[in-house]
Structure 1
Amino acid sequence: MPHVNPLVRFGRDSASLPAFDAIGAEHVVEGIRIAVDDHAQAMEACRAMPGDPALLARKEAADLALNQSWGIVGHLLSVTSSPALRAAHAEAQAIIDAHLAAIGQDKALHAAMAQIPTDALSPENRRALTLALQQFELSGVALEGEAAARFSTNWMALSRLSTAFSNAVLDATQAWTLHVTDAEMLRGIPEASRAGMAAAAEQAGLTGWLVTLHAPSYLAVMSHAEDRDLRRQLYAAFGTRASDQGPNAGQFDNSATMREILRLRADQALALGFEDPVAQSLATKMAPDATTVESFLLRLAQLARPKAEADLGDLRAFAAEQLGIETLAPWDIPFVTERLRQARHALDSAEIRDHLPLAKVLGALFAVVGELFDVEVREGAGTALWHADARSFEIHRRGAAAGADPIAALFADMFARDGKRGGAWMNTCRAYQDGGAIWPIAYLVTNFAPPAPGTAATITHDEMVTLFHEMGHVLHHLLSPVDVPSVAGVAGVEWDAVELPSQFLENFAWEPAVLKAASAHVETGAPLSDALIERMLGARHFQLAPLLLRQVEFALFDLRLHRAAGGPNAPDPQAILEAVREEVALVRPPEWHRFAHAFSHIFAGGYAAGYYSYLWAELLSSDAYAAFEGPAADRRALGARFRQEVLSPGGSRPAMENFVAFRGREPSEAALLEAWGIAA
């Protein structure tokens, strides 16, 4: 009798979804052992099918089952981290990584797949086969003997180090708190944020307020606190997380982890015949080479710099003349920016937040999704999830009868808490299968401030934009009826194009009608006024140019760091970062600042040697949204075409083909520059 995997109870209805509330750390290793054993048996069967087109479907199904089991473990670690779960994850990671390393170098399996005649396959399967064979090559299938063994060992070590880096950032974030008993220290911070700090103190058994490095608390202090020393304390604690500097210096230090990650990435790239990790990374992306990427980034920096210098000059003048800050320090910039926004555009982000209850924002978001893509988003049917804050939603065809099966589902977890990593992200829970009989499911995770007891949750407009962004990723997964999992939805999409749907949907969070629909003041119920919305739109490009330079700084640092990793000497991340700042940055952090030590996107995420992808994809997304602007645009027809040509194909076609099919041409730079408020 086959073993039942305790991690996965997938089936054709909501009752067979993963039993998140019943999955404990004690189930992780057993579940992964069963999943790996099942996958190994399936691969044995695949080896016996050389050249058989049915091999591809068999491998796809087996890969999907393994990925879904491991995906649940990774998801739970990111939203419910605990010592027991970390230990179980580490043990299971060693098991699955060893298995996947062996599969990646399985010459017999590779040969069996390489013999499949492509003319016997559908276009989706041809694309899947092409990407699968490429992945074998990038997994070292052509290596022999000691070189192959070293490659596998390095690959497993990199997986382990990535998790260690992420854990250190989470630990460092949670380790620092500031207990405040004097309300004067919190002067200027909005009441909603202070209430969250008071609730955090109460939960910790303290009086007063507890300031933390979780995003809602940190951003509230940096943007609003009049106490300059308080801002400096948080800036120092946040900017030195997981490093050799700051209040917890050395306690969670990622320095050695970073060096080892870079060394191993260089070894892997060189073993495969690439010049450096950047060349290896670009082998699966849209951008043709590092020179093209660097030229793209430097052009953006050149275009942004005059406006950024003017914006920074405005901040310095305002800080000196109106706030008595003669020398603008990095920890002053968010605060001064907020005050200048209020003075110049009569905009108070706290006032806007009071108009944006999360429930109303979700309703407006779901209305936009419904209008564009002919679907309805409904509250889910009480699925037991991993935390009381998590909610389920179902995606239905517009007009579907009550009680009808959904076409997709969404699990959302929106509030910051201990044990949950920071940031916002989407991930896949279940893939589209069997022609939709098994419907896809996505996770949508953010870190908004939880509501104070007895109050409704509200979010900032920036957080509203983030919510729309992540929903774009979600829709890419949920509205892709491709029955080949490795190229459905976000799977198989070039990483420098995967942000297209998410950045595209952000734009709708700025539309006046959407802002009206998303708003209801917490006390009066009144929506945002026309005058306030007009001021918001007038300030849309306010101080954007310095932010663009920051994005270029991060992307150039990532690119040059990984190019240097291919050289004879180990790269020094701090030295490379300082050199990049010398070239493009307007504001230089203090010498002790350690941004790279918590740069999880490139050390613990999917953006290594690819952080430029955000800006590269925005070239596509800005131009895609431009089609929807103007009174003559038929938004329903355009939405249907965007769904058909961009969302539905997912990774089953190259991203540029998807874009051209939607827009009728290749992308233009003009819309990107307009989005950033910069003229060419």
Structure 2
Amino acid sequence: MTENPFFSPSTLPYELPPFAEIREEHYLPAFERGMAEQLAEIQVITADPEPPTFENTVVALERSGALLRRVESVFFNQASADTNDTVQAVDAEVSPRLAAHGDAIHLDRALFERVETLYRQRAELGLDAQSLRLLERYRTRFVRAGALLSETGRERMRDLNQQLAAAATAFEQNLFADTGNAALVLGSAEELSGMSPDEIAAAAENGRALGHDGAYVLSLKNFSNQPALASLDDREVRRRLLEASLGRGLESNGELVVRMARLRAERAALLGYDSHAAYAVADQTAGSAEAVSAMLARLVPPAVANAERESAALSAAMGDGGPEAWDWAYWSEKVRKAEYDVDAAAMRPYFELDRVLRDGVFFAAEQVYGVTFSERPDLVGYHPDVRVFEVFEAGGEPLGLFLGDFFARGSKRGGAWMNSLVLQSDLDGRRPVVVNNLNIAKPSPGEPSLLTFDEVTTMFHEFGHALHGLFSAVRYPFFSGTSVPRDFVEYPSQVNEMWSVWPEVLANYARHHETAEPMPAELVDRMQQAERFGQGFRTVEYLAATLLDWAWHTLSAGADPGDMAEFEAVALAKAGVAVQAIPPRYRSAYFAHIFAGGYAAGYYSYIWSEVLDADTVEWFRENGGMRRENGEVFRRELLSRGGSVDPMEAFGGFRGRAPEIGPLLERRGLAD
């Protein structure tokens, strides 16, 4: 296939992938040639008769696999954002082969010996700090992949990795199908009483798009508690919606979850660790499973106590006993409206998508960092909904491209995420291309897209990841952008959430979509006060998912977790977060972060990173808030450096001390 667009670098600006030319039949040949080319490049390295040097071994490794990187970045973004049967078939075929390909490199004895030789000589090589860190990180990657194992151990490692790759793909594809099939189909608008007219219209449009003409369809988000639960008046409809959400994957993914947990435990033991959690955290900023367990144990009691106080308030408002899980969000909105005069539905007209994007997200970035954005309709995305923006420095110098894919569709998985399509690197002279994916309900033609405040926060959050990629200024692609420890990667994105409620920013974007009137200042104040009510629920919901992840991945090799549902119940009770009316944010059967993504034993990272985030927000406030000088410091010391420095050393250099947990406890209402 000589005309495969992946076979040569893109000629488009910033090497944006040529989406208009890419067809599904291009993927498998590109993967096959990409893997073959990289193995040939590795063979050149290991066959070199010259003694290993940093250039002929480590830099050569960094330069290898260019074609494979091109196809991987595009394919796996499409597999998440615009999948179909063909893409899923390629995914199922190629994922185990990619796992085997990675093992072929990391378990290559001759290659590791060259890296190990340089590692032993590292003090005499005269390397600068970033090059030295690259050598050390490559050596760590090889060792953690099993380079020190016997040949028998290496063979078992290869087998485990391929089994896990295939299982993760199966989990994700099962979940995608189950989530689509579990969408709640309603026959009348009356059943949607409580939702706004535009939300009802969006449900009707969703019904048409999914082949249910005349019906109203509530498609499910990735997490347990669906947004519509806050507004649906009909208690039975709320119950059906939540049970549809909680029931996803129970049949299709139950055995997969148990098998993956056992395989990961065996792999960790093979490498000398007590559990997968111990293996995973050893290479994170937390450093040890004990440190994570201690933090979580500290948070659970005050979070549950806070949730119990909220439950009592809901019970008083309901007047007929405590809330069931499908009642909590609905009655929380009632209490917020009564206590704080805040109506979430009444706020939505002030959050029109394009204004939030341009006058909120982009405006904040311009004020803090000086960057500007220009839409490029001449550049084509991978789907008609995708918008492409060129990003410029304050002085007009080109920085990179940002792609926004904001709307939900049947071919997109749930949730929100950022991907890098082109990694920044001085080694190969590339500037970054990043994409944000959200799942906002697409409005009917001609209607505005109005967001909930949670969706506004998500947009700012994901753009924090985008800035981390766009501001990357590293020499080696290994360190580019968000290539940092898992329990650090959420930190910059969580910091960026603060601008969503910063007075200058909120006043600029929170305007009524019909009248352009700003959101009343008193409503903003009440909204921020009301945010404290509900922190108990949100923290317990999050901790329950985190502790489920932790329970699955602290299993020792050979342990049999038994039935998935029973294991869940025991784990939640043991951790002290089995609150009947607060289901975990994710149950195991649809916990894609840990069974189909990279967060296995890492979901704790959100709150671990939030410690850094809350402390950083305090730093901005102490130093005058939204000032370009502050943005420049944060960009220079943290956002631009990717993984090229130890992240906690970078934080210490930025903050002038180690992080403190006090601001996080205050934010979440746990300080007492």
TM-score range for the pair, normalised by the shorter chain length: over 0.9
- Write the distance in 1 (CA, Å) between the matches of 2:454 and 2:585: 25
String of CA shifts for 1:508-532, please: whole Å, max 9, x gaps: 1111221111122122221211111
Q: 1:56 aligns with which of 48, 58, 62?
A: 58
Amino acid at match of 1:346: D
**Other structure's SS at 2:665 match:** helix
1:384 aligns with 2:380: yes
Amino acid at match of 1:275: D
Alignment of 1:224-623 (within 5 A): 224-244=231-251, 253-320=252-319, 325-363=320-358, 364-400=360-396, 406-434=398-426, 437-491=429-483, 493-570=484-561, 572-582=563-573, 583-585=575-577, 587-588=579-580, 595-623=587-615
- Write the distance in 2 (CA, Å) between the matches of 1:216 and 1:254: 16
String of CA shifts for 1:250-278, please: whole Å, max 9, x gaps: xxx10111122112111111111111111
- Write the distance in 1 (CA, Å) between the matches of 2:579 and 2:191: 26
Relative to structure 1, the CA distance from residue 571 to residue 625 in structure 2 (aligned partners, 3 Å threshold; closer, same or farther) is farther
**Other structure's SS at 2:285 match:** coil
- Equivalent pair of 1:212/1:218 in contact (CA under 8 Å): no
- Write the distance in 2 (CA, Å) between the matches of 1:592 and 1:626: 30
- Write the distance in 1 (CA, Å) between the matches of 2:145 and 2:429: 33
Extract unaligned runs of 5+ from structure 2: none
The Cα of 1:351 is off from its aligned counterpart by 1.5
Relative to structure 1, the CA distance from residue 656 to residue 341 in structure 2 (aligned partners, 3 Å threshold; closer, same or farther) is same
- Equivalent pair of 1:478/1:489 in contact (CA under 8 Å): yes
String of CA shifts for 1:67-108, please: whole Å, max 9, x gaps: 332121111111111111111222232432222111110111
Alignment of 1:82-161 (within 5 A): 82-116=84-118, 117-118=121-122, 119-161=125-167
Amino acid at match of 2:219: T
Amino acid at match of 1:335: Y
Relative to structure 1, the CA distance from residue 533 to residue 129 in structure 2 (aligned partners, 3 Å threshold; closer, same or farther) is same
String of CA shifts for 1:350-383, please: whole Å, max 9, x gaps: 1111111111111121111112122112213521
- Write the distance in 2 (CA, Å) between the matches of 1:217 and 1:457: 24
- Equivalent pair of 1:472/1:504 in contact (CA under 8 Å): yes
The Cα of 1:64 is off from its aligned counterpart by 5.0
Relative to structure 1, the CA distance from residue 109 to residue 631 in structure 2 (aligned partners, 3 Å threshold; closer, same or farther) is closer
Relative to structure 1, the CA distance from residue 381 to residue 453 in structure 2 (aligned partners, 3 Å threshold; closer, same or farther) is closer
- Write the distance in 2 (CA, Å) between the matches of 1:226 and 1:343: 16
- Write the distance in 2 (CA, Å) between the matches of 1:264 and 1:79: 28
**Other structure's SS at 1:412 match:** strand
- TM-score of the superposition, structure 2-length normalised? 0.94
- Equivalent pair of 1:482/1:648 in contact (CA under 8 Å): yes
String of CA shifts for 1:577-621, please: whole Å, max 9, x gaps: 323432422632699999210011111111101111111111111
- Equivalent pair of 1:9/1:17 in contact (CA under 8 Å): no
The Cα of 1:120 is off from its aligned counterpart by 3.0
String of CA shifts for 1:110-135, please: whole Å, max 9, x gaps: 11122224333221121122111111
- Equivalent pair of 2:224/2:583 in contact (CA under 8 Å): no
Extract unaligned runs of 5+ from structure 1: 245-252
- Equivalent pair of 1:262/1:565 in contact (CA under 8 Å): no
**Other structure's SS at 2:64 match:** helix
**Other structure's SS at 2:621 match:** coil
The Cα of 1:385 is off from its aligned counterpart by 1.4
- Equivalent pair of 1:241/1:594 in contact (CA under 8 Å): no
- Equivalent pair of 1:9/1:19 in contact (CA under 8 Å): no
| Counterpart residue number, 1:26 | 25
**Other structure's SS at 1:414 match:** strand
The Cα of 1:219 is off from its aligned counterpart by 3.3
State the Cα RMSD in Å.
Answer: 2.3
- Write the distance in 1 (CA, Å) between the matches of 2:143 and 2:515: 61
- Write the distance in 1 (CA, Å) between the matches of 2:342 and 2:626: 32
String of CA shifts for 1:3-50, please: whole Å, max 9, x gaps: 665336535651842122332221111010111111111111221264
What percentage of residue pairs aligned between the two structures are identical?
Answer: 30
- Write the distance in 2 (CA, Å) between the matches of 1:522 and 1:595: 37
- Write the distance in 2 (CA, Å) between the matches of 1:337 and 1:8: 54
- Write the distance in 2 (CA, Å) between the matches of 1:260 and 1:236: 25
- Write the distance in 1 (CA, Å) between the matches of 2:95 and 2:625: 50
Question: Which one is further off, 411-420 or 303-312?
Answer: 303-312
- TM-score of the superposition, structure 1-length normalised? 0.93
Alignment of 1:173-252 (within 5 A): 173-203=179-209, 204=211, 206-214=213-221, 219-244=226-251
- Write the distance in 2 (CA, Å) between the matches of 1:42 and 1:419: 36
**Other structure's SS at 1:539 match:** helix
Relative to structure 1, the CA distance from residue 210 to residue 36 in structure 2 (aligned partners, 3 Å threshold; closer, same or farther) is same
String of CA shifts for 1:366-413, please: whole Å, max 9, x gaps: 11111212211221352111111011111101141xxx6x21111111
Relative to structure 1, the CA distance from residue 676 to residue 500 in structure 2 (aligned partners, 3 Å threshold; closer, same or farther) is same
Report how many residues are paired: 662
String of CA shifts for 1:405-443, please: whole Å, max 9, x gaps: x21111111100001000000111111134684211111
Amino acid at match of 2:634: F
The Cα of 1:174 is off from its aligned counterpart by 0.6
Relative to structure 1, the CA distance from residue 348 to residue 216 in structure 2 (aligned partners, 3 Å threshold; closer, same or farther) is farther
- Write the distance in 1 (CA, Å) between the matches of 2:565 and 2:212: 39
Relative to structure 1, the CA distance from residue 135 to residue 630 in structure 2 (aligned partners, 3 Å threshold; closer, same or farther) is closer
Relative to structure 1, the CA distance from residue 229 to residue 593 in structure 2 (aligned partners, 3 Å threshold; closer, same or farther) is farther
Question: Which one is further off, 429-438 or 186-195?
Answer: 429-438
**Other structure's SS at 1:19 match:** coil
The Cα of 1:305 is off from its aligned counterpart by 3.1
- Write the distance in 1 (CA, Å) between the matches of 2:492 and 2:136: 24
Relative to structure 1, the CA distance from residue 205 to residue 576 in structure 2 (aligned partners, 3 Å threshold; closer, same or farther) is closer
- Write the distance in 1 (CA, Å) between the matches of 2:11 and 2:471: 17
- Write the distance in 1 (CA, Å) between the matches of 2:199 and 2:650: 43
Relative to structure 1, the CA distance from residue 466 to residue 428 in structure 2 (aligned partners, 3 Å threshold; closer, same or farther) is same
Amino acid at match of 1:409: L
- Write the distance in 1 (CA, Å) between the matches of 2:577 and 2:223: 26
- Write the distance in 1 (CA, Å) between the matches of 2:215 and 2:468: 44
The Cα of 1:342 is off from its aligned counterpart by 1.4
Structure 1 ranges of 4+ moved more than 6 A: 215-218, 590-594
